[in-house]
Amino acid sequence: MHDATIERAAGALREADRIAALTGAGMSAESGIPTFRGAGGLWRQFRPEELATPEAFARDPSVVWDWYRWRRRLIAQAEPNDGHRVLARFETRFPEFTLVTQNVDGLHRRAGSAAIIELHGNIWRARCTVERRRVVDQAGDPPAPEASDPPRCACGALLRPDVVWFGEMLDPVDVARATAALRRCAVLLVVGTSALVFPAAGFPLIAAEAGALVVEINTEETALTARADVVLRGPAAGVLPALERAL
């Protein structure tokens, strides 16, 4: 990664009043949480259709809960990384900073970010499949040893992970808030996403069409790279601190 590209991104951030960031699973990779599509990724061992869909849950809620319980235990042992902490500091450093994440792991919040739009929900929340009431587990507390059967609401109905599965709509309020921030921002940082899952994958183009400078931070080329104005090739926990130092 060349200093010139870091300087170009840092220069744009210095001039900007409104900044947004869109993060994906690569943001948490250096915290030890496998990404979805990378080598050793979550989807490698499993097929999304088998686990992250309402049909999979209807077919066998125990299998789906086992996967989410396994991920919760992994996340409970993980710590936010330096990249998460930089984005948390950016929230107070800039007049307007909006963090939009596809991640459900809650690590941005544990790093100190407060204004977060969690597009795909949060793995630490469950919701009643009948009442739709949300049940928040003690985020960050190692989950209690789990019974093998899927958890149930006080009303007796199954609880489900409070995340957005494939084929499910995102919360329209979240989409509207994210879209508004993308249309207003002068710089959009796109960190650690393969840009393959919609509608989030389309968000950088909304910002670009509204005139934002799109900065991609990723270890690899992605579906977005050709459309990004600045590409900072490297790991989030290395590039984001370098970008902060250059400000």
**Position among 222, 228, 230, 240 found at the interface with ligand BV8 (CB under 6 A):** 222
Q: Which of residues 29 and 186 has its CB atom nearest to ligand BV8 in the complex?
A: 29
Q: Could you tell me how many residues of this chain bind ligand BV8 (CB under 6 A)?
A: 36
Active site residue 84: no
Instruction: Work out whether strand 213-218 and strand 116-118 pair parallel, antiparallel, or are unpaired.
Output: unpaired
Among 10, 37, 64, 206, binds ligand BV8 (CB under 6 A): 37
Closest C-alpha among 40, 29, 134, 36 to residue 83: 29
Name the residue whose CB lies closest to ligand BV8: 26
Residues 183-212 that bind ligand BV8 (CB under 6 A): 192-194, 196-199
The first and second tokens of residue 75, run together, are 């996340």
- CA distance from start to end of the chain: 16
Stretch that binds ligand BV8, among 20-28, 130-138, 152-160, 205-213 (CB under 6 A): 20-28
Contact indicator for 214, 207 with CB cutoff of 8 Å: yes
Q: Which is nearer to ligand BV8, 175 or 210 (CB)?
A: 175
Counting beta carbons within 10 angstroms of the beta carbon of residue 154, is it exposed (0 to 12), middle (13 to 18) or buried (19 or more)?
exposed
| Beta strand 134-136 pairing with 187-191 | unpaired
Residue 235, interface with ligand BV8 (CB under 6 A)?
Answer: yes
> Among residues 36 and 57, whose Cβ is nearest to ligand BV8?
36
Q: Does 91 bind ligand BV8 (CB under 6 A)?
A: no
Nearer CB in complex with ligand BV8: 17/168: 168
Give CA–CA dist 64/90, Å, rounded: 36
Rounded distance, CA 43 to CA 36, Å? 5
Separation between Cα atoms, residue 134 and residue 125, nearest integer Å? 7
Catalytic residue ranges: 120
Binding footprint of ligand BV8 on the chain (CB under 6 A): 24-26, 29-30, 35-38, 41, 52, 102-104, 120, 163-169, 192-194, 196-199, 217-220, 222, 235-236
